[in-house]
Amino acid sequence: MKNYVVKGNLCYSENANSVRLLPNHYLVIENGLCAGTFAELPEKYRALPLEDFGDKLIMPGMSDLHVHAPQFSFRGLGMDMELLDWLNTYTFPEESKYRDLEYADRAYESFARHLRVSATTRAAVFGTIHVPATTLLMEKMEKSGLVSYIGKVNMNRNSPDFLCETSVEQALADTEQWICDTKDRFQNTYPIITPRFIPSCTDELMHGLRKLVEKYKVPVQSHLSENYGEIAWVQELCPDSKFYGDAYDRFGLFGGDHKCIMAHCVHSGEEEIELMRKNGVYIAHSPLSNSNLSSGVAPISKYMECGMNVALASDVAGGDTENLFRSIGHAIRASKLRWRLLDQQVAALTVDQAFYIATVGGGSFFGKVGSFEDGYEFDAIVIDDTALDHPQELSLRARFERSLYLSDDRQIAAKFVRAERLF
Residues that bind ligand GUN (CB under 6 A): 68, 83, 87, 91, 196-197, 223, 226, 289, 315, 318
State the number of binding residues for Fe ion (CB under 5 A).
2
Min separation Cβ 196 and ligand GUN, Å? 5
230 binds Fe ion (CB under 5 A): no
Nearest residue relative to ligand GUN (C-beta): 318
Among residues 188 and 235, whose Cβ is nearest to ligand GUN? 235
Give the distance, in angstroms, between the CA of residue 193 and the centroid of all CA atoms in the same chain: 15
DSSP codes of every residue in 327-374: HHHHHHHHHHHHHHHT-TTSPPPPHHHHHHIIIIIHHGGGSS-S--ST
Which window, 28-36, 255-263, 328-336, 411-419, contacts Fe ion (CB under 5 A)? 255-263
Min separation Cβ 394 and ligand GUN, Å? 37
322 binds Fe ion (CB under 5 A): no
Among residues 226 and 379, whose Cβ is nearest to ligand GUN? 226
User: In terms of DSSP bridges, do strands 120-126 and 309-312 run parallel, antiparallel, or are they unpaired?
Assistant: unpaired
Among residues 316 and 347, whose Cβ is nearest to Fe ion? 316
Selection from Fe ion, ligand GUN, none that 226 binds (CB < 5 to 8 A by kind) is: ligand GUN
Among residues 186 and 228, whose Cβ is nearest to Fe ion? 228
Min separation Cβ 194 and ligand GUN, Å? 10
Min separation Cβ 235 and ligand GUN, Å? 16
Among residues 9 and 289, whose Cβ is nearest to ligand GUN? 289
How many whole angstroms separate alpha carbon 88 and alpha carbon 93? 7
Min separation Cβ 367 and ligand GUN, Å? 27
Among residues 227 and 407, whose Cβ is nearest to ligand GUN? 227
Q: Give the containing element (helix H, strand E) for 235.
A: helix 228-237
Selection from ligand GUN, Fe ion, none that 197 binds (CB < 5 to 8 A by kind) is: ligand GUN
Buried residues in 12-46 as b, exposed as e (16+ CB within 10 A): bbeebeebbbbeebbbbbbebbbbbbeeebeeebe
Q: Sheet containing 220-224: which strands, arranged edge to edge?
A: 220-224, 260-264, 282-285, 309-312
Nearest residue relative to Fe ion (C-beta): 315
Min separation Cβ 99 and ligand GUN, Å? 17
Do 263 and 311 form a contact (C-beta atoms < 8 A)?
A: no
Which window, 42-50, 257-265, 302-310, 377-385, contacts Fe ion (CB under 5 A)? 257-265
Among residues 66 and 418, whose Cβ is nearest to ligand GUN? 66
Selection from ligand GUN, Fe ion, none that 304 binds (CB < 5 to 8 A by kind) is: none
Among residues 104 and 414, whose Cβ is nearest to ligand GUN? 104
Min separation Cβ 74 and ligand GUN, Å? 11
End-to-end alpha carbon distance in the chain: 14
Among residues 59 and 263, whose Cβ is nearest to Fe ion? 263
Separation in Å, CA 227 to CA 190, 255, 259, 268, 291: 29, 22, 24, 10, 11
How many whole angstroms separate alpha carbon 168 and alpha carbon 155? 9
- In a 10 Å sphere around its CB, with 0-12 CB exposed, 13-18 middle and 19+ buried, how is residue 64 labelled? buried
Separation in Å, CA 355 to CA 64, 99, 107, 194, 317: 12, 38, 30, 27, 22
Min separation Cβ 180 and ligand GUN, Å? 26
What lies within 8 Å, CB to CB, of 187 at 6+ separation is: 142
Selection from Fe ion, ligand GUN, none that 83 binds (CB < 5 to 8 A by kind) is: ligand GUN
Q: Could you give the 3-state DSSP secondary structure of residue 117? A: coil
Min separation Cβ 374 and Fe ion, Å? 35
Q: Sheet containing 120-126: which strands, arranged edge to edge?
A: 62-68, 120-126, 147-151, 189-191
Of the candidates 357, 337, 354, 365, the one whose C-alpha atom is nearest the C-alpha of residue 400 is 354
315 binds Fe ion (CB under 5 A): yes
* Residues at the contact surface with Fe ion, assessed by CB under 5 A: 263, 315
